[in-house]
Amino acid sequence: MIGSRGRVTGTIGPGLIGEVLLSIRGGTEAFYAYPLNPEESFESGTQVLVVDFEPPRTVYVERWQPIGR
């Protein structure tokens, strides 16, 4: 789970419980999401990296940064 790349489907930001879709176990599943930095926001469609996981369905994310950019 940690280290997975996902796509925001519900805005993530201060005071909001966002949502991301992650490829898990051969399918796609939705998880509640919070920004790792509590002041950041991510709009729907943004690619993010999972940096922490709290069972059963909560992840903390940061913006995906492809290598070499």
Looking at per-residue pLDDT, the higher value among 33 and 25 belongs to: 33
Q: What's the pLDDT at 49?
A: 97
* pLDDT for residue 20: 98
- Domain count within the chain: 1
Which three-class secondary structure string do you get for 36-53?
A: CCCCCCECCCCEEEEEEE
- pLDDT above 80: residue 69: no
φ, ψ at 63 (rounded to 5°): -60, 135
SS3 of residue 25 by DSSP: coil
Confidence check: pLDDT of 48 > 80: yes
Residue 67's pLDDT is what? 85
Residue at 69 is within a domain: no
Of the candidates 19, 23, 25, the residue with the CA atom closest to the CA atom of residue 5: 23
Does residue 26 sit within a domain? Answer: yes
Which domain range does residue 59 map to?
A: 5-63
Please tell me the pTM assigned to this model. Answer: 0.91
The CATH code of the domain that includes 34 is: 2.40.50.140
Averaged pLDDT for residues 21-37: 96
